[in-house]
Chains A and B, each alone.
Chain A
């Protein structure tokens, strides 16, 4: 342990039988350090356990066919893949992103650039929305959309967009806050309007950070299952690229196959889980790498 603040352990004088109190204090200090390190190690071990277990199970079945085929009609049958779910996930999350990103960025602009009562309320509501359980959002979209237009990929996209919205707003608002006021003032001094300043000066300066926030929101949406259960319902039989119809997603297929008793279905679900984890982790790591270049470039 070579932390900068590590105190020098004074040599306990042994002449008068030893400073028992000091020795005990140092022993306790060492014990607590070991305890903290152990808990840290256990936490990392749990992460490794999940990742390695899913990888080991998933690799047993993962292959090219998994990405190109749909599941067999009878779940007890071996073979097939999640092509329909992967396509469904990409389409549904894609539409959700297209909905939530512009609205989210605009709302963040309203919060930061046009401060006022509406902005303050939006900021508070954004925080509240983060706490709304995703299953409740699913129920909301069911009542709002599915009761009128039926289960569809689009309904799932709306639910995911609602879940992504506060994440996008928060990520964007945080970045906008970091853009120096001097940049805005310089732009204004040149006679540029507020709107033009925001679009051409503020947003570009915050771009990397906003991208990070969006990628994290997409990663979150990719893994969501509960709200989709109530909105797109799933369609495990064939590839459906029309978002007005019931669609399957990777997460729904994993859920459906994981809780069947069939080993063949579970094998597909493990491969699906590995695929899902890989997609999410890639997004996550990409977001981190983008986030690292956060230093605002003065244009």
Chain B
């Protein structure tokens, strides 16, 4: 593996030994740095290959025309015509954003509550097992979540959604976002699955952040007569605000790129933005997974690379932002 040629232990001329040792030492260092270089190359390569693969479509239709439409209709594409661009991707960005947002809205309060419970309420002996158990949610593969989502979650969601469509859905204005009909697969279903999938990482970050609250501040709050909840609200939570924000952003970053589970429960409707969260749609990741191996129309595959390129850009921006926010709280675990 990484082991260099062993240094000879046999008695040799001192000068030779020194020379040989210095040589292996330098070679080892070069090998390690080369490995580091490979890591850099992987990221550069990802960007370069995505751009070059997307390039024909970008050049044919123009860079910004992909953002000018929410209609993805590969069958309309011909080798010659450049206008209108049949590969609008706004609906995928909308789908990615909406599903991730739903996931966040559900997961963030749960993550904060679970992390508070584990670090501050649960008896000490229970903290480790609880943490590990919540982490197990991250071990379950995406494809299993999707499969479970179709057969177990969707039937369970039906009554909830029916209730929401018949109440919120009737409200003028916002009713549009909660309108039926609900066929099971939807943005909302994908959002719920995403919430479960990003919960462990968000909980883990919140836990780390809460654990950094100085004990004397908590004790001071208690000594002044606060109840435990008041102590949490006034000593722990305010200090953790940027950490919680970081957890939310990193969870968002995870949700944006999630592919298979979302593909299985979102309905894969690519032709327009569906206004209701109970409607069917697609995300940037799901359309790639769904159409990539069957992309035969002109510029179809290249346009999927355009989607991939945008997904990469968005995911990187979100992840680096989350990283910076979390790092500011010095709870650098994510």
Contacts and interface: CB of A to CB of B under 8 A. Distances in A.
Interface of A: 1-7, 25-26, 28-29, 32-33, 35-37, 39-40, 42-44, 46-47, 49-51, 53-54, 57, 101-107, 109-111, 113-114, 118-119, 121-122, 125-137, 139-140, 142-144, 162, 165-166, 169, 193-196, 198-199, 219, 222-226, 229-230, 233, 251, 254-255, 258-259, 266, 269-270, 273, 276-277, 280-281, 284, 288
- Tell me what chain A mostly uses at the interface: helix, strand, loop, or mixed: helix
Contacts of A225: 141-143, 259-260
A128 B319 contact: yes
B172 to A, nearest CB: 33
B222 interface: yes
13 contacts: A25-B230, A39-B117, A51-B140, A106-B2, A132-B46, A134-B259, A139-B304, A139-B305, A193-B22, A194-B28, A195-B27, A225-B260, A277-B140
A50 B312 contact: no
A29 B289 CA distance: 48
Contacts of A118: 33, 36-37
A32 B229 contact: yes
B77 interface: no
Given A46-B196, A136-B312, A229-B289, A269 B36 contact: no
Nearest to A121: B40
A169 B222 CA distance: 42
B239 interface: no
Contacts of A29: 227-230
B228 A6 contact: yes
Interface of B: 1-4, 7, 21-22, 24-25, 27-29, 31-40, 42-43, 45-46, 49-50, 52-53, 109-110, 113-114, 116-118, 120-124, 130, 132-134, 136-137, 139-148, 150-152, 196, 199, 218-219, 222, 225-232, 253, 256-260, 263-264, 285, 288-289, 292-293, 304-305, 308, 311-312, 315-316, 318-320, 323
Contact of B39 (A50, A126, A134): A126
Given A132-B316, A135-B289, A122 B36 contact: yes
Nearest to B7: A196
Contact of B121 (A1, A7, A107, A196): A1
A272 B31 CA distance: 41
A239 to B, nearest CB: 21
A280 B143 CA distance: 13
Given A33-B229, A110-B32, A111-B36, A165 B316 contact: no
A103 B230 contact: no
Contacts of B323: 127, 131
Contacts of B253: 131
A3 B222 CA distance: 13
- Tell me what chain B mostly uses at the interface: helix, strand, loop, or mixed: helix
B144 A223 contact: yes
A221 B285 CA distance: 18
Given A33-B121, A230-B293, 6 more contacts: A1-B121, A1-B123, A3-B121, A103-B35, A104-B35, A125-B42
B289 A43 contact: no
B257 A132 contact: yes
Contacts of B319: 127-128, 130-131
Given A40-B118, A193-B25, A223-B144, A28 B227 contact: yes
B52 A165 contact: no
Given A223-B142, A223-B143, A110 B36 contact: yes
A47 B133 contact: yes
A107 B35 contact: yes
A32 B229 CA distance: 7
B289 A226 contact: yes
Given A37-B121, A54-B144, A107-B32, A226 B285 contact: yes
A26 B141 contact: no
